[in-house]
A = this chain, B = another copy of it.
Amino acid sequence: MTDLWIDNERLTKQISFLVEIDKLKTVLRKTFLIDKSRLENTAEHSWHVSLMAVVLLEHANEPSLDLNRIIRMLLLHDLVEIDAGDTFAYDSQGYLDKEEREQAAAARLFGMLPDDVKGEWMTLWREFEDGTTREAKYAAALDRLQPVIHNHYTGGVSWKKNGIVRSQVLKRLDPVRETSDTLWKFAQEIIQRSIDMGILFDDPTAKEV
C-alpha cells in the first residue's frame, strides 16, 4: 500500500486500483482497429462493447435485461488480462490454463479494492465468465460479435493472419445465437459475405453447425 491519501484507507485502495487498471490499455488483442492502423487494446475494446450493448439492446430476445449490470460486466470483464494476458479466442493451448491464470488475476486485482466491495466485483466477473444468466449471455454475445465485425471491415486481416475458418467463428458465436434472433441472422450474414468476399475460409465442418 502506498501512502494514504487524505488519511482515508478506502479511497487509497480505490485510487491504487484505478491506477493499476490503466495497464489494460497496454494489453493487445489479436483484432485490428477498423482502419487497420494497429492492433486493438483491451481497454478500448471494453469501451466499444459496452457501447454496443447500449445500442443493440433492443435486439435481445429477452425483454427488460438489466443494462446497468450488463455494462458494468463488460467494463470489467477483461481486467484479468492485466495479469493473464489476452488469450486468443482460437488458441486451444492457451485455453488449457486460462481459467487458472484468470482466477488468480481476479483475486489479485479485485483484492485491491475495499473488502466489502471486492466480493461484489468477483461475483460480477464470475457471472460473466460462467455465462449462465441472461445478462451474462447478452454481454458475451457482444464480446464475441465485435471482433467479427472488425474482421469483416478490415478484410479479414486477423482471420487470415491466424488461419481461422468458418466453423471456428460460428462456434464462438453461440452466445449470439442464444440471445438474439436478429443479431444471429446478422452474424450469419456477415460471415457469409466474408466468405463470398474471400476473406474468411469456408470449411466442411461449418455446414453442420
A residues apposed to B, CB below 8 Å: 5-6, 8, 11, 14-15, 17-19, 21-26, 33-35, 37, 40-41, 43-44, 46-48, 50-52, 54-56, 59, 67-68, 71-72, 75-76, 113, 149-150, 153, 182, 185-186, 189-190
| A190 contact set on B, CB distance < 8 A | 5
List the 7 closest A-B pairs by CB distance, nearest first: A47-B47, A43-B44, A68-B68, A22-B34, A44-B44, A6-B185, A25-B44
Q: A22-B34, A35-B23 are in contact. Are A182 and B43 (CB under 8 A)?
A: no
- Give me 13 A-to-B residue pairs in the complex whose CB atoms sit less than 8 angstroms apart, sorted by A's number: A8-B186, A11-B182, A14-B55, A14-B56, A18-B149, A21-B48, A22-B34, A24-B47, A25-B33, A26-B35, A46-B47, A51-B76, A67-B68
Q: Are B46 and A19 in contact (CB under 8 A)?
A: no
The answer to whether B51 touches A21 (Cβ under 8 A) is yes
Q: Are A50 and B25 in contact, with the CB atoms below 8 A?
A: no
Tell which of B5, B41, B54, B59 touches A75, judged by Cβ atoms closer than 8 Å.
B54
A5-B189, A18-B56, A68-B68 provided; 4 other pairs, C-beta below 8 A?
A: A5-B186, A14-B56, A19-B149, A24-B47
CB-CB under 8 A from A67, the residues of chain B are: 68
Question: Which of A18, A21, A34, A75 has most chain B Cβ within 10 Å?
Answer: A18
